[in-house]
Amino acid sequence: MIKFPDTFVWGASTASYQIEGSVEADGRAPSIWDTFSRTPGAVVGGHTGDDACDHYRRYRDDVALMAGLGLHAYRFSIAWPRVRPGGDGPTNERGLDFYDRLVDELCQYGITPMPTLYHWDLPQALEDRGGWANRRTAEAFAEYATAVHDRLGDRVQSWTTLNEPWCSAYLGYGNGVHAPGRRDPAAAFAAVHHLLLAHGLGTQALRAAGARSVGLVVNPVAVRPADPASAADADAVRLIDGLHNRIFLGPVLGDGYPADVLEHLTRLVDPTWLGESDEKIIAAPIDLLGINYYNPVYVASRPGAPEVDGRYPGVRDVEFRDPTGPTTAMGWEIDPTGLGELLRRLHRDHPGTPLWVTENGAAFDDRITGDHIPDDDRVSYLDGHLRAVHAALSDGVDVRGYLAWSLLDNFEWAEGYHKRFGLVHVDYRTQRRTLKDSALWFRSVIARNALPSQVTDPPA
């Protein structure tokens, strides 16, 4: 048996727009994802989050499911457009009522609520005023954070501000595959900064309101050279690592923007958005850093290669290599060593910041056999990554918990409902939930607080 520490926290994650549905209920206003998903061609199959998993109405059953799995914690996100439909301005108490009920339900079962305040559903009203490219959005975020804390702070101890600001900035404003679908390098870098500022201002606001534990969730990627012996590939790694990882980690963890990253971006844009004391605000101390990990990437130097799309604005002469090993249904390479590598690196470079794996999981084309969903591929994915977490723990890395992505199959953004990440299968026609084998396996891991000696061990 591979035992985890007694205090280790087991849980699962979801996000508001991906599961809630009821997009017009109780005064919610449209978010950028409501608008974007209605744009022809933006989302596979023309899917929207209108119904999603109907969690807004079925949350009680879903919390009972979590309790059945033995989850200690549940990470969900709060929909800003439910709470502040105009982005700023008056609070919609009916929107907060939902999260109030959800938190009560979780507490009844002894499940720790771990809300994330922003998981990509920006109120459309704010986007209409420039969205994350506008500094005002960062200030509005802090005001919204205070409003949520005022209502839930008596029961919620652990908060995270943003989920994966890399995706919000670069996919939303750089290459436009996510809402709001803009393709503008200047807006993408402004968005990076304003998201970081929102994190800093939000952290200050939550602390001022009395929050005990505040952190941020990032999606660092393990960037590797196609040829480990090539100096040019090492430079490509440094560039991509800078634009993906260090541009967020540096400012948040007190080291400011890395010089090479600033040099790259000032070649493209004039960072007029960089206010004098911003880096100090962004570096507000945090109590936890959430890591969402799925796959590593391999890059090579290739002179003459065209500009990588707006995911990495201004990057030329660099090629992303196709995975050579097994992949998930997303086409993402399966390699748990990347998770271990990142956990060790963060622990080494930023000692003293407790780490959480706030998302990890895989989409596969699940087969349904009667009432049974034998998703061995997902079990093996989770098992491999948990072994990597355990090995990092054994090396002294301070990892406090593991939250699987995702509790339920859900709206996978630009991929619509085709990609299924859930431990629990959702039949979108009937909204029936069915535990996959991975859920049964995860339940037994939690119950034993240990991994079986072999992946194939049957669930307890």
Binding site for ligand IFM (CB under 6 A): 15, 18, 164, 292, 359, 405, 412, 421
263 is catalytic: no
Angle CA(101)–CA(104)–CA(109) in degrees, nearest 5? 130
Tokens of 403: 């939250």
Q: Which is nearer to ligand IFM, 62 or 164 (CB)?
A: 164
The CB-of-80 to ligand IFM minimum distance in angstroms stands at 15
The CB-of-407 to ligand IFM minimum distance in angstroms stands at 12
307 is catalytic: no
Residue type at 432? R
Strands 112-118 and 158-163: parallel
Collect all residues with Cβ–Cβ distance below 8 Å to 457 and sequence separation of at least 6. none
Residue of 20, 127, 333, 359 with catalytic role? 359
Cβ count within 10 A of residue 264: 19
CA distance 94 to 27: 7
CA distance 194 to 132: 6
Collect all residues with Cβ–Cβ distance below 8 Å to 306 and sequence separation of at least 6. 316
Residue of 20, 105, 127, 164 with catalytic role? 164
CA distance 181 to 41: 11
CA distance 398 to 400: 6
CA distance 89 to 140: 9
User: Residue 25: which of 63, 56, 2 has the closest Cα?
Assistant: 56
The CB-of-73 to ligand IFM minimum distance in angstroms stands at 17
The CB-of-162 to ligand IFM minimum distance in angstroms stands at 11
CA distance 111 to 107: 6
Q: Which is nearer to ligand IFM, 182 or 419 (CB)?
A: 419
Cβ count within 10 A of residue 86: 14
Q: How many CA atoms lie within 13 A of 177 on its CB side?
A: 14
Q: Which is nearer to ligand IFM, 178 or 443 (CB)?
A: 178
DSSP state of 369: B
- Per the listing, tokens 């967020």 go with 248
- Catalytically active residues, by annotation: 164, 359
